Amino acid sequence: FMNILLFLTILCTTQQKVKEQDIKEEDKAKARHLYIRASAYLNQERYNEAIPLLNDAKALDPYFVEAYIALGNAYLSLKDTQKAKENFLEVKRIFPNDKRGYQGLGFLYGVYLRNYEKGIYFYKKCYEIDKTDLNTLLIIARLFEKINKDSAEFYYKKILSINPEHPEGLKKYLN
């Protein structure tokens, strides 16, 4: 049974890689063009016009991570948290080592929905991927301010241990 399970796992993983490699360059170019058009609408806060273009871009190139992130952000702007979550989860599923899916989920839960613990969880995942990102540490510290001042202080100190001149870290200790 375990051999069959292992075989199926390898088969699914292999098929996914083949799919990614099978995307035509022409389709990738079309997807990028749609994304650029959608970005213009997003900049004008015309989310309902951008969303179909981004969905078309995803259909042409299911591995076009920027389209998922833009969709997640557009849905957040429209207060459709379920669709935002779905797109950020897709980034996490397709590219587990890309911190942007975790950032989207961290923002969705920690800032937008005020589920601070869950937001912190996803931002910590970001930090595991990129330990040089001081902005992620800052967001974690700010979210901890809402629920645990000692943990917030730990993260502010961590920021200052990496960059002793960090303005937000210094501001916290000068006030």
How does pLDDT run across 60-109, given as a tens digit for each residue? 999 999 999 999 999 999 999 999 999 999 999 999 999 999 999 999 99
- 12 versus 81: the higher-pLDDT residue is 81
CB–CB of 68/88 below 8 Å? Answer: yes
Rounded to whole angstroms, how far apart are CA atoms 64 and 31?
Answer: 8
pTM attached to this predicted model: 0.83
CA dist list (Å): 82 to 7, 36, 53, 74: 34, 24, 19, 12
Listed residue (37, 34, 73) closest to 55, CA to CA: 34
